[in-house]
């Protein structure tokens, strides 16, 4: 039996959703106005969440370093600070023990996954967990950043608002991404940086004008909320930068190369640490022991160099003010480089944005000192530090535009924008030449998710050649005379003919491209040339089981417009043209857009009634029959076998712990159908009637 409080909570949420929906409909506002209101509300909620997260870090810092350290100091003296990170790591290990599934859903990668695959759906308990765990980690001295968790918190808050309001999957996806970007805008106080972070990282560069509008409104609102409560002072303070001679641009190119190498080394080292913790012997050690050991290493490091504790912005300002010697800065760089992957891979919670800035600042300072000491080259140390920050931030996180904008907005200084752009682009390019994808996508790929290709690729991969190929094909014997070929080409609706030998094997192809060169000499050669003489013998073929993504790539590589199609048994069964693929994509994309647009209405379709779309065509629900359970959408071939289209699937999903709520998803071609799934299908009334006996 469900807890009474959960049922009551669900009923209240439904009432709120209905109240909001009714109020908005009564106002009769234009759709764009409603959209803008939602974006501003999302930004305000995310901005407040970011402020609370910032305050939570301050609170836990006070609890650990003032109260707890004060109590331990009585016994251990100054060495008490060593145990603070250990206590923080033990608390995080306890949280992971209590909720292991939720603990695994951490970081920006989880937001990317939610936006790309779950219509922006994120459980609110996940948001709460990843609000507390990073705050405890950073507050207890964990040398990680708040930005990754903040992005996850922002996405989670926006997702929950979308669920309460009752947004469709496409709109919730959009606002979840906007919430994530807005959180970055609020934490960094960089609205432009937040916008492009969401575009580059969360949305995988999937740009749409509506999405961009939501990002702008949400990010600006969140940043304004942050400035009201946390102040409008820039994060980094420094004396004026000096970049006057363009003759020194090559030095920033070298700095970008160095930052790219540092970024690559950091990513590789992180992978080595991850593999180390995954080894069988180490994996068998209880998590709390491993995390306590890492906490002890952080504590000892912080005992000697307390600048390593926490986010590190204060230390960066000290570097900018030239308060550290070069050897101290180098030690801090090495410590940050080593400790961050240890914390995160052992089970700690936090982000790598702030560590990237710290490593970049330290690297820029050391590089400027080396140029002066070894080569007697005078450079502005402050500019080198700031440019190094942007270059390493862009390199480690694969966010060139966001990195440039974040540094620009955090410093509010334009004078060094040119060397900053140069170094960031060089650093990011070096990393991408080796890694070829962002650290977040690399993490998702290891989990089995390939999201880099984008929505267009996923749509094309959902359709096979046999679904759209032309089953008729024109075969001509190799000795067919030229006049016969020309006559057939003029009379046929086919633009390509294929030649075959005496055994019926395909030997070549003839299209207008092959005929055009000999048309001017047609009268002279008409009696001498046969099909074999003009056919193109280098044929590219495809199989009927190939998907359209593969075929479209082939069309891009070959300067031809049609491929012959073979069956698995090696028999020619038809042909497919470039236009066939484009038309199929347009139809599938329209289906996805139709599903998104009807998502709210489809939630209200009764199981027996059909929703009329056009004369003779309807949309109807059918519970998944037992014979379909466990099979994927592509295995069933509903389009081919039943003449029906699956628009979406309705699921019963947990809204809060212990309560249910309807969720609509657009299925991936490999999605295995579950017993409780409800198919929302489109087709002719005649075909739909045949589904009544599905069992």
| 569-597 average pLDDT score | 74
310: confidence class by pLDDT, cuts 50, 70, 90: very high
Determine contact, residues 380/242, Cβ cutoff 8 Å: yes
pLDDT at 1: 40
pLDDT of residue 131: 95
Let me know if 532 is exposed, middle or buried by CB neighbors in 10 A (0-12, 13-18, 19+). Answer: middle
Do 492 and 517 touch, CB atoms closer than 8 A?
no
Can you give the pLDDT at residue 605?
47
Average pLDDT over residues 448-452: 57
Class of domain 246-290+303-453: mainly alpha
Task: Return the SS3 of 653.
Answer: strand
Of 183-187, 242-246, 250-254, 666-670, the least confident: 666-670
H/E stretch holding 665 reads strand 660-665
Q: Which two tokens stand for residue 19?
A: 């109240």
* Residue 654 scores a pLDDT above 60: no
Distance of alpha carbon 190 from alpha carbon 222, whole angstroms: 10
Topology agreement, domain 4-230 and domain 246-290+303-453? yes
Give mean pLDDT, residues 77-85. Answer: 88
Q: Provide the pLDDT confidence category of residue 243 given band limits of 50, 70 and 90.
A: low
Give the pLDDT confidence of 177-192 residue by residue, as tens digits.
Answer: 889 999 999 988 889 8
pLDDT tens for each residue of 482-515: 888 888 877 777 778 888 888 878 888 888 777 7
- Given a contact cutoff of 8 angstroms between Cβ atoms, the answer to whether 687 and 643 are in contact is yes
State whether CATH 3.10.580.10 applies to domain 465-582: yes
**Residue-wise pLDDT tens digits, 372-413:** 999 988 888 999 999 999 999 999 998 999 999 999 888 888
What does the pLDDT read at residue 209? 57
Q: What is the DSSP string of 84-116?
A: HHHHHHHHHHHHHHH-HHHHHS-SHHHHHHHHH
On average, the pLDDT of the chain sits at 82
Question: β-strand 660-665 against 678-684: which pairing, if any?
Answer: unpaired
pLDDT bucket at 608, cuts 50 / 70 / 90: very low
Q: Token pair 């749509």 is at which residue? A: 459
In the chain, the percentage of residues whose pLDDT exceeds 90 is 36
- CB contact at 8 A, 435 and 395: no
Locate the domains of the chain by residue range: 4-230, 246-290+303-453, 465-582, 598-693
- Rounded to whole angstroms, the Cα distance separating 404 from 391 reads 8
Neighbours of 17 (CB within 10 A): 16
The pLDDT value recorded for residue 600 is 47
Q: Which residue has the higher pLDDT, 691 or 604?
A: 691
Domain 598-693, classified CATH 3.30.70.20, yes or no: no
State the pairing for strand pair 562-566/542-543: parallel
pLDDT band at 592 (very low <50, low <70, confident <90, very high): low
Specify the higher pLDDT residue, 36 or 599.
36
Q: Residue 606's pLDDT is what?
A: 45
Examine the pLDDT at 661 and tell me if it is beyond 90. no
Is residue 380 within 8 A of residue 365, CB to CB? The reply is no
Mean pLDDT of 254-269: 96
Distance separating alpha carbons of residues 496 and 512, to the nearest angstrom: 8
The pLDDT tens digits for 181-227 are 999 999 888 898 889 888 888 877 666 656 678 888 999 999 999 98
pLDDT for residue 287 is more than 90: yes
pLDDT at 668: 63
Please give the average per-residue pLDDT across 456-461, as a whole number: 69
Q: Angle at the Cα of 54 (from 51 to 60), degrees rounded to 5?
A: 135
* Superfamily of domain covering 4-230: Clc chloride channel (1.10.3080.10)
Taking 60 as the threshold, does the pLDDT of residue 156 lie above it?
yes
598 confidence band (pLDDT: 50, 70, 90): low
Task: Find, among 135, 128, 136, the residue nearest to 89 by Cα.
Answer: 136
Average pLDDT over residues 620-628: 82
């Amino acid at each position: 039996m469900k807890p009474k409080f959960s049922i009551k909570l669900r009923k209240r949420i439904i009432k709120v959703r209905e109240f909001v929906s009714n109020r908005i409909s009564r106002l009769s506002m234009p759709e764009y106005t409603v959209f803008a209101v939602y974006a501003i509300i999302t930004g305000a909620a995310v901005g407040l969440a970011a402020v609370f997260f910032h305050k939570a870090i301050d609170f836990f810092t006070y609890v650990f370093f003032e109260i707890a350290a004060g109590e331990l100091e009585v016994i251990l003296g100054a060495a008490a600070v060593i145990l603070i990170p250990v206590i923080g790591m033990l608390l995080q290990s306890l949280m992971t023990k209590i909720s292991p599934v939720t603990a695994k859903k951490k970081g920006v990668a989880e937001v990317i996954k939610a936006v790309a695959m779950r219509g922006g759906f994120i459980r609110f308990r996940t948001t709460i967990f990843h609000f507390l765990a990073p705050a405890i980690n950073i507050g207890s001295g964990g040398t990680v950043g708040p930005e990754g968790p903040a992005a996850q918190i922002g996405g989670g808050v926006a997702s929950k608002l979308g669920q309460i309001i009752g947004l469709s999957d496409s709109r919730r996806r959009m606002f979840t991404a906007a919430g994530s970007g807005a959180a970055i805008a609020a934490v960094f106080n960089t609205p432009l940086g937040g916008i492009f972070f969401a575009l580059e990282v969360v949305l995988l560069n999937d740009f749409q004008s509506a999405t961009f509008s939501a990002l702008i409104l949400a990010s600006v609102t969140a940043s304004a909320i942050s400035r009201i409560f946390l102040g409008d002072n820039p994060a980094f303070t420094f004396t004026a930068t000096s970049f006057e001679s363009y003759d020194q641009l090559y030095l920033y190119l070298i700095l970008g190369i160095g930052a790219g190498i540092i970024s690559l080394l950091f990513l590789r080292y992180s992978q080595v640490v991850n593999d180390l913790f995954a080894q069988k012997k180490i994996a068998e050690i209880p998590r709390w022991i491993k995390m306590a050991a890492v906490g002890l290493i952080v504590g000892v490091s912080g005992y000697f160099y307390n600048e390593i504790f926490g986010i590190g912005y204060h230390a960066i300002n000290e570097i900018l003010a030239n308060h550290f010697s070069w050897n101290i800065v180098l030690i801090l760089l090495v410590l940050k480089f080593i400790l961050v992957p240890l914390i995160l891979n052992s089970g700690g919670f936090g982000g790598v944005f702030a560590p990237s800035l710290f490593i970049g600042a330290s690297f820029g300072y050391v590089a400027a000192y080396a140029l002066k000491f070894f080569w007697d080259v005078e450079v502005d140390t402050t500019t080198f530090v700031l440019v190094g920050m942007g270059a390493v931030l862009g390199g480690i996180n694969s966010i060139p535009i966001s990195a440039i904008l974040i540094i620009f907005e955090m410093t509010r200084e334009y004078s060094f924008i040119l060397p900053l752009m140069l170094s960031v682009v060089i650093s990011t390019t070096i990393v991408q030449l080796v890694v070829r994808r962002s650290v977040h996508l690399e993490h998702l790929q290891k989990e089995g998710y390939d999201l880099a290709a984008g929505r267009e690729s996923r749509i094309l991969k959902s359709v096979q050649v046999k679904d759209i190929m032309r089953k008729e094909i024109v075969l001509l014997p190799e000795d067919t005379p030229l006049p016969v070929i020309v006559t057939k080409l003029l009379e046929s609706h086919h633009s390509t003919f294929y030649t075959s030998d005496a055994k019926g094997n395909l030997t070549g192809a003839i299209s207008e491209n092959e005929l055009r060169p000999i048309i001017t000499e047609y009268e002279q050669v008409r009696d001498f040339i046969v099909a074999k003489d003009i056919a193109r013998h280098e044929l590219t073929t495809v199989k009927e089981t190939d998907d359209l993504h593969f075929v479209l790539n082939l069309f891009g590589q070959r300067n031809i417009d049609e491929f012959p199609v073979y069956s698995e048994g090696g028999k020619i069964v038809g042909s497919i043209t470039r236009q066939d693929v484009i038309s199929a994509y347009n139809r599938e994309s329209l289906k996805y857009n139709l599903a998104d647009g009807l998502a709210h209405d489809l939630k209200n379709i009764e199981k027996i009634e059909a929703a009329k779309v056009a004369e003779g065509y309807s949309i109807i629900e059918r519970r998944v029959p037992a014979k379909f359970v466990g099979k994927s959408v592509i295995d069933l071939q509903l389009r081919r076998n039943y003449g029906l289209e699956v628009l979406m699937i309705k699921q019963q999903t947990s809204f809060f712990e212990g309560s249910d709520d309807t969720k609509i998803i657009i299925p991936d071609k490999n999605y295995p159908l579950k017993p409780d799934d409800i198919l929302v299908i489109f087709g002719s009334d005649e075909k739909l009637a045949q589904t009544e006996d599905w069992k």
